[in-house]
Amino acid sequence: PVAVDREKPADAGVQLFQRPWTSIAEECESTIGPAGFAWVLTSPPQEHIEGAQWWTSYQPVSYRVESKLGTEAEFADMVSRCAAVGVAVIADAVVNHMAGIDAGTGVAGTAFTHYDYPGLYDEGDFHHCGLTADDDIADYSSREQVQTCELSNLADLDTGSATVRETIAGSLRHLRDLGVAGFRIDAAKHMAAADVQAIVDLLPEDTVIMSEVIRGSGSEPVQPEEYTGAGKVFEFQYARDLGPGLKAGVITDPALGAGPASARPLHVPSADAVVFVDNHDTERGEASVTYRDGGLYLIANALMLADDYGTPVVYSGYAFSDRDAGAPQDADGRVIGWDCAGVTGPKAQYADGEGVCTEAWTAIAGLLELRRIAADAPRLPGVGDGDVDGFERDTRALLLVNPSEADAAATVPVGLPDGRYCDVISGGAGGGISAGACAGTTVTVSGGTVTADVPAEGAIALHIGARL
Ligand code: AAO
């Protein structure tokens, strides 16, 4: 048997949306490290405007590491505790802009007005595009508007300026000094790619960069490909491809069942791509599959994690019915946080504010195992039988998914060696291979064929590291 290397994390991360630093530190130790995630993406750590909405995090008023998610000491403690269990920290970097409101006091006490942030920036450090009545972006088909006007009235930093670049880079270097591995560059589309590159050039060379450049319609001049020089980019098209077929109860997107994702149009090369099922914006917007979809959400995550395209990031937020509602806070406006003890899979119903805890699902840990074992084995053309579709990672792993509402038995050809395998969606080789029994479902491969019962809105995942 091939052993799963427990010391080596999978090439995958988890976005812990609006999770306080103390809560992430505990989660690294209890769940994220043991599951085999390589990194966690946090919400923005800098001081921001006051307010109960989650999106106050995206209106910086200073670069002090003091926010509703915790203090600088708590942030540093999180980074070192996560590192101790093999998990790197990627911080969300909001550097395109400062606040959107006219004036106020930040959560760490910094008084500011729209274009004046004491000790950091004043009026001359901002774009005043003069292209629209209110200086807001109105037309995404204009590069100039997208990159020099204001996104939703957020005071737009002039990232062409050397002093602005250095101020931004200084704040990011400070986070690197606190131990973070790198950054998600928020709203990168709204900065010229050369400006992003110039800021990244002021950071240590090994800084990990993931730029958020939402792939827009063909008429948008600014596309993710421009930003791959500075690091990876989030490939939104991947998420758009994943969902709709699942919702229809059948995988209609042939790309999922046949042929490598890298051959699809509208995708950056695999090495440049960070892929996701949903994120904090798309679960409130365009995502066709989210935590609300239970088993289908699990299937979407399974397809992504078993795939050979991109670096996946699993999303974990909290349930909401109001788009703006922040995570539960105390009287001082600090997010309370939550732990994921006892969560093993998707729930049929969530209370508003309840953590979804995707990272704690048994299936997710199993899929990260599959990802490590599959390693560089390419994804083979898809296989299917009735409602069941899937694909193999050449002789190393197999994923079968059933998006329909009824259990389905499927028989498909497979290149995996003969044997009895523990399905890692339902628990894998829980007690260890030597125990000779699976924690969940056992599946037999024989003579180049596998027959499996795939649960309704569920999946079966096998890999050669979990063969009895
Ligand atoms: C809040 C209030 C505002 C207020 C503002 C200032 O909601 O009413 O004016 O404060 O006081 C977050 C929240 C915002 C919040 C903001 C600041 O989402 O509600 O505003 O914090 O507190 C564009 C950007 C992209 C951005 C996205 C939201 O390009 O970078 O808008 N995402 C990031 C963060 C996000 C955050 C910010 C940026 C700001 O992830 O959480 O905002 O820091 C098209 C374009 C996209 C564009 C979207 C939305 O996308 O291509 O570039 O994203 O439109 O305008 C199809 C199309 C696709 C289209 C998509 C739209 O799929 O194919 O082209 O639909 O969903």
Q: Please write the tens of the pLDDT for every residue from 15-29.
A: 999 999 999 999 999
Q: What is the mean pLDDT of residues 268-280?
A: 95
Question: Percentage of the chain surpassing pLDDT 90?
Answer: 88
Q: Is 325 in the pocket of ligand 1 (CB under 6 A)?
A: no
Cβ atoms of 150 and 129 closer than 8 Å:
yes
Q: How confident is the model at residue 5 (pLDDT cuts 50, 70, 90)?
A: confident
**Is the per-residue pLDDT at 173 higher than 60?**
yes
What's residue 1's pLDDT? 59
pLDDT in tens, 58-78: 999 999 999 999 999 999 999
Q: How far is the CA of 190 from the centre of ligand 1 (A)?
A: 11
Distance CA 254, CA 263 (A): 12
What's residue 289's pLDDT? 94
Q: What is the mean pLDDT of residues 103-107?
A: 98
Distance CA 369, CA 317 (A): 23
Distance CA 362, CA 430 (A): 10
Residue type, 309: Y
What's residue 285's pLDDT? 96
Q: Which atom of ligand 1 is nearest to the CA of 49?
A: 22
Q: Is 250 in the pocket of ligand 1 (CB under 6 A)?
A: no
Q: Is 141 in the pocket of ligand 1 (CB under 6 A)?
A: no
Q: How far is the CA of 282 from the centre of ligand 1 (A)?
A: 10
**Is the per-residue pLDDT at 6 higher than 80?**
no
**Which residues does 424 contact at the CB level (< 8 Å), separation at least 6?**
363, 365, 366, 367, 369, 370, 461, 462, 463, 466
Query: Which mutation among 214, 223, 227 tests ligand 1's pocket best, with the greatest number of atoms within 8 A of CB?
Result: 214
**Is the per-residue pLDDT at 436 higher than 90?**
no
Q: Is 278 in the pocket of ligand 1 (CB under 6 A)?
A: no
Q: Is 104 in the pocket of ligand 1 (CB under 6 A)?
A: no
Q: What is the mean pLDDT of residues 43-61?
A: 98
Architecture of domain 383-466: Sandwich (2.60)
Active site residues: 186, 212
What's residue 241's pLDDT? 84
Q: Is 146 in the pocket of ligand 1 (CB under 6 A)?
A: no
**Which residues does 419 contact at the CB level (< 8 Å), separation at least 6?**
444, 445, 467, 468
Q: Which atom of ligand 1 is nearest to the CA of 101?
A: 11
Of all protein residues, whose CA lies closest to atom 26 belonging to ligand 1? 187
pLDDT in tens, 368-415: 999 999 999 999 988 999 999 999 999 999 999 999 999 999 999 999
What's residue 4's pLDDT? 77
Q: Which atom of ligand 1 is nearest to the CA of 212?
A: 30
User: Would the CATH topology of 13-234+318-355 be identical to that of 383-466?
Assistant: no
**Is the per-residue pLDDT at 189 higher than 50?**
yes
Report the run of H or E that residue 380 belongs to, with start and end.
Answer: none
Query: Which mutation among 281, 282, 323 tests ligand 1's pocket best, with the greatest number of atoms within 8 A of CB?
Result: 281
What's residue 247's pLDDT? 81
**Which residues does 398 contact at the CB level (< 8 Å), separation at least 6?**
390, 391, 392, 414, 416, 450, 460, 461, 462, 463
Q: What is the mean pLDDT of residues 204-223?
A: 95
Residue 324 Cα to chain centre, angstroms: 20
Q: What is the mean pLDDT of residues 36-47?
A: 98
What's residue 258's pLDDT? 41
**Is the per-residue pLDDT at 468 higher than 80?**
yes
Q: What is the mean pLDDT of residues 213-222?
A: 93
Task: Encode 10-34: b = buried (16+ Cβ within 10 Å), e = exposed.
Answer: bebbbbbbbbbbbbbbbbbeebbbe
Kindly report the average pLDDT of the chain as a whole number.
Answer: 94
Residue type, 107: V
What's residue 39's pLDDT? 98
Q: Is the ipTM of this complex over 0.90?
A: yes
Strand 397-402 and strand 388-393: the pairing is: antiparallel
Distance CA 410, CA 421 (A): 16
Q: How far is the CA of 100 from the centre of ligand 1 (A)?
A: 12
**Is the per-residue pLDDT at 98 higher than 70?**
yes
What's residue 2's pLDDT? 76
What's residue 261's pLDDT? 56
Q: What is the mean pLDDT of residues 426-447?
A: 91
pLDDT in tens, 334-364: 999 999 999 999 999 999 999 999 999 999 9
What's residue 433's pLDDT? 81
Q: How far is the CA of 434 from the centre of ligand 1 (A)?
A: 51
Q: Is 285 in the pocket of ligand 1 (CB under 6 A)?
A: yes
pTM of the predicted structure, to 2 decimals: 0.97
Q: How far is the CA of 80 from the centre of ligand 1 (A)?
A: 32
Q: Calculate Rg over the CA atoms of the chain.
A: 23
Q: How far is the CA of 146 from the centre of ligand 1 (A)?
A: 12
What's residue 257's pLDDT? 41
Q: Which atom of ligand 1 is nearest to the CA of 97?
A: 43
**Is the per-residue pLDDT at 259 higher than 60?**
no
Q: What is the mean pLDDT of residues 106-134?
A: 98
pLDDT in tens, 412-435: 999 999 999 999 999 999 878 888
Map out the domains of the chain as residue ranges: 13-234+318-355, 383-466
Q: Which atom of ligand 1 is nearest to the CA of 53?
A: 22
CATH superfamily of 13-234+318-355: Glycosidases (3.20.20.80)
